[in-house]
Structure 1
Amino acid sequence: MTLVPNSIVIRKADRWYAIINIQCHVSIPNPMRHGHPIGVDVGLEKFLATSDGVIVKPPKFFKNLQSRLKVLQRRLSRKRKRSKKYEKARIKVARLHHTIDNTRKDFHFKQAHALCDASDMVFMEDLDYRIMAKGMLGKHTLDAAFAQFRAITKYVCWKRGKFFAEVNARGTSQECPECGAEVRKDLSARVHNCPNCGYITDRDVASGQVIRNRGIALISTVGQTGIESACAVGLPGTEETQSRSEAKPRKGKTRKTRK
């Protein structure tokens, strides 16, 4: 085994950080598909909602400190550039941005570990959050940093040996997780009420259950054996699959043994 060390020194606000990377030529197997699956739906009203019914409210780090940041930026704009007072005011603004970023990242890591504690397989949507950031709610989307949370969750799952996958995000909020029927809802409707099967639950929890069902269908494909298909037994929207190792009756006549 060979070690290739590498170090990077960066500066954030008025603080210096040293990042040390050690590359080892060791093959690490990918996490296996096993255990309890959950689907995670993220949004602005609820930061995340899982298929198990866990709901986490958005902390809104930037919005809580926006008034303080506005005061510091106004003071900075009144200072003469390249002066000592200007540099002190600039460092205060950068330090507050750095605090917001560190607090948000710490929250994301804690939520990712909580998801890994509650499950063995985590499924999320393959959304492009850059498109959401360009809309009228772009500031709130950037404050939540959904893309960073998904990347951190994927890393934490790999580190802890949990399976992670992304599923198709089209129509997850317009589908019933119990019967699979299409249930049209606008953004003002926060409760999922299926007219076909009568299933009623929170809108975001239902989306998480649809994500979970799509994740199970994604890994339970033809050619996969055993444990992946066993995860789908008993879950809503799925059917039991026959094991490939089950013996099937042989067609035609059997050969008689000689006496």
Structure 2
Amino acid sequence: MFNLTYEFKLKPTQKQIQIFEEWLETHRRVYNYALAERKDWYKSRSCQIKSCSLHSCYIIPAEAPRPTFASQCKSLTAARKSNEHLGKVNAQSLQQTLRRLEKSFVSMWEQNHGFPRFKKVGRMRSFSFPQLGKNPLQNGYIKLPVIGLVNLRQSRSIADGGVLKQARVVKRISGWYVMLTVQWDVDLPQPMPHGEGIGIDVGLTSMVATSSGALIKRPRFFVDCERKLKLLQQRVSRKRLGSNNWKKATIKEALLHEHVANCRKDFHRKLSHQLCDDVGMIFAEDLNLVGLSRGMLGKHCLDAGFGQFFNILEQTCFKRGVYFQKVDARKTSQICPNCQHETGKKSLAERVHECDNCGYQTDRDVAAATVVLIRGLAAVGHTVKMLSEGKFVGIPVN
């Protein structure tokens, strides 16, 4: 099975926008109610047996089972018969909101994420339809359950042979969008190591440094707009909360945030295609991105968007038939790519790699990218050879 998600902008009528807003509020209340039910159950078990707690006690009977996705779906089905607002919303769509809450708890248990939080007014920005009728796309319209035909701007065509599996309606400050998940009953082979390979090293001075010697400067998307953002945030804080002027100011602030995010994603996509030109393999560092975001330069690391860049690069490599692999990132800046001698730690001010063992000298980031290339070629069974012009190439081992 092969899935792709297409994003199109919707052009709903005022009546449909009102329906979307009402549905989002209903989904928010269902999410908060289900979360409160689970939270109360957990709190009821926090009371010690030998003493009575001052901040919590048994608020649910001891024999009551733990709320799960299945049990809450049954409760939702019963509540829809008596609640007018729940009855107006598609039942499967409400169940997807409960499934979203279930995934939040699974992430908390398995991935060490925080406890799920309640969503205030305006924080629920999407709802999904897990099933659609026959031929939902019709001449610039999409047919959504209960809502009906909604006009959309289909900027590109969908490949033939796919089945539309899911539609997610998303609210952004620039308008309403729909994410269509299309599935094809085919198995696409993963790209295999072939051709010339390059290693890349990401950083704050240069966004990307390649083993071939290319240095691509990092655009400062958020930092360049920080002064304007500060001004807009001051204007928001000076308005009366909830007034029309306050809403206008918050819209301007949100538009700037979306503009920064769109510019960053556009740069990442163009850069990923540029790196895939004339190469068959790309190797990157397997970085601890969470640790980088919490460090002294966390704001600049988040502005660069290394995690989003690696995801987009991996997708682009798959689309263009380029082999992509992450390698160990430890001591890539402390090893000489020419003789594999460990030169020791370098300060951030040292921008040139100079080996005291063999005398090899090059840019610090290029040297790290070359070490990444050597490790990647060794992982796929290639030997490394240095040419007279200072380039490293991989030779397959027979």
- Give the C-alpha shift of residue 14 in structure 1: 3.6
Is the 8 Å Cα contact of residues 112 and 156 (structure 1) preserved in structure 2?
yes
Distance 2:217 2:395 in 1: 35
Long gaps (5+) in structure 1 = 221-228, 244-259
| Stretch deviating more after TM superposition (85-94 or 182-191) | 182-191
Q: How does 1:60-75 map to 2 (within 5 A)?
A: 60-75=220-235
Q: Secondary structure at the match of 1:135?
A: coil
Q: Deviations over 1:60-109 (max 9, x none)?
A: 00011111110000000111111111111111000000000000000000
Q: How does 1:237-252 map to 2 (within 5 A)?
A: 243=398
* Alpha-carbon distance change, 103 to 34 in structure 1, aligned in 2, over 3 angstroms: same
The AA in structure 1 aligned to 2:377 is I
* Alpha-carbon distance change, 129 to 200 in structure 1, aligned in 2, over 3 angstroms: same
Q: Deviations over 1:191-228 (max 9, x none)?
A: 000111111000000000000000001111xxxxxxxx
Q: Does 1:192 align with 2:343?
A: no
Long gaps (5+) in structure 2 = 1-160
Identity score, percent: 45
Distance 1:32 1:202 in 2: 30
Greater RCO, CA 8 A, separation 6+:
1
Q: How does 1:9-88 map to 2 (within 5 A)?
A: 9-88=169-248
The AA in structure 1 aligned to 2:275 is L
Q: Secondary structure at the match of 1:65?
A: helix
- Give the C-alpha shift of residue 3 in structure 1: 2.1
* Alpha-carbon distance change, 234 to 6 in structure 1, aligned in 2, over 3 angstroms: same
* Alpha-carbon distance change, 79 to 111 in structure 1, aligned in 2, over 3 angstroms: same
Distance 2:364 2:174 in 1: 44
- The partner residue of 1:150 within 287, 307, 310 is 310
- Give the C-alpha shift of residue 5 in structure 1: 2.8
Q: Deviations over 1:94-136 (max 9, x none)?
A: 0000000000000000100000014211110111111111111
- TM-score, structure 1 length as denominator? 0.86
Give the structure 1 partner of residue 379 of structure 2. Answer: 218
Give the superposed CA RMSD: 1.7
* Alpha-carbon distance change, 49 to 242 in structure 1, aligned in 2, over 3 angstroms: closer
The AA in structure 1 aligned to 2:214 is V
The AA in structure 1 aligned to 2:209 is A
The AA in structure 1 aligned to 2:202 is V
- The partner residue of 2:385 within 234, 238, 253 is 234
Distance 2:244 2:334 in 1: 57
Q: Secondary structure at the match of 2:333?
A: helix
Is the 8 Å Cα contact of residues 180 and 237 (structure 1) preserved in structure 2?
no
Q: Secondary structure at the match of 2:206?
A: coil
Distance 2:281 2:395 in 1: 19
Q: Does 1:136 align with 2:287?
A: no
Any runs of at least 4 consecutive aligned residues in structure 1 with deviations exceeding 3 A, and if so which? 235-242
- TM-score, structure 2 length as denominator? 0.56
